[in-house]
């Protein structure tokens, strides 16, 4: 997949499928894209937690509760859904940062049975243009029922939209 990547949000690749782990069923999702921005700039956009609702679809609020070095606790509120159904989702998240490379996210409490995620950043170069490859991966299971086929498609679509919005914002803000 890496050899076929190109710059821009239209090149975001996303995949979602159901997995079974420890007797539980959950979604496993991955998405990636590349941007014309340094890892440092991408890092600044991704770790400006309170600004995320300005460009992430369905994210209504993201509030920094505490910070201790490279760890943070944030609360997020979103409206998620598919077709005509929307549901509010609240999460309190523990964030562990490895500056300029990885952001690990773990659920502390909220409207999910399970939620872990991580963002990875790495330098990317193509045809003499420097940028950053952004990779998002998550395992999640909401507290509400999602039908298997529709649920997988909805989760994949929502993750693709989120990563497209993030890559667009990184490129837009990098150009200024």
pTM strictly above 0.95: no
Alpha-carbon distance 9 to 6, whole Å?
9
Q: Answer whether 26's CB lies under 8 Å from 140's CB.
A: yes
Alpha-carbon distance 27 to 3, whole Å?
26
Per-domain residue ranges for the chain?
2-174
Confidence at residue 7, expressed as pLDDT on a 0 to 100 scale: 57
Confidence at residue 134, expressed as pLDDT on a 0 to 100 scale: 97
Full DSSP string of 93-104 = EEEEEETTTEEE
Confidence at residue 129, expressed as pLDDT on a 0 to 100 scale: 86
Q: pLDDT band at 4, cuts 50/70/90? A: low
Q: Give the fold, CATH level 3, of 2-174.
A: Alpha-D-Glucose-1,6-Bisphosphate; Chain A, domain 4 (3.30.530)
Confidence at residue 147, expressed as pLDDT on a 0 to 100 scale: 74
Full DSSP string of 137-170 = EEEEEESS---HHHHHHHHHHHHHHHHHHHHHHH
Q: What is the mean pLDDT of residues 157-171?
A: 94
């Amino acid at each position: 997949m890496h050899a076929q990547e190109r710059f821009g949000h239209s090149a975001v690749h996303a995949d979602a499928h159901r997995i079974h782990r420890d007797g539980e069923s959950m979604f496993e999702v991955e998405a990636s894209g590349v941007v014309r921005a340094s890892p440092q700039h991408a890092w600044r956009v991704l770790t400006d937690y309170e600004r995320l609702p300005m460009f992430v679809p369905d994210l209504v609020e993201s509030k920094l509760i505490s910070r201790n070095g490279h760890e943070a606790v944030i609360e997020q509120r979103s409206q998620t859904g598919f077709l005509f159904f929307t549901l509010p989702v609240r999460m309190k998240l523990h964030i562990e940062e490895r500056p300029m490379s990885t952001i690990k996210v773990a659920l502390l409490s909220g409207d999910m049975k399970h939620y872990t995620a991580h963002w990875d950043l790495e330098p990317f170069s193509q045809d003499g243009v420097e940028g950053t490859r952004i990779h998002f991966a998550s395992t999640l299971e909401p507290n509400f029922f999602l039908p298997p086929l529709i649920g997988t498609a909805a989760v994949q679509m929502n993750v693709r939209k989120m990563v497209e919005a993030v890559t667009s914002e990184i490129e837009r803000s990098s150009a200024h």
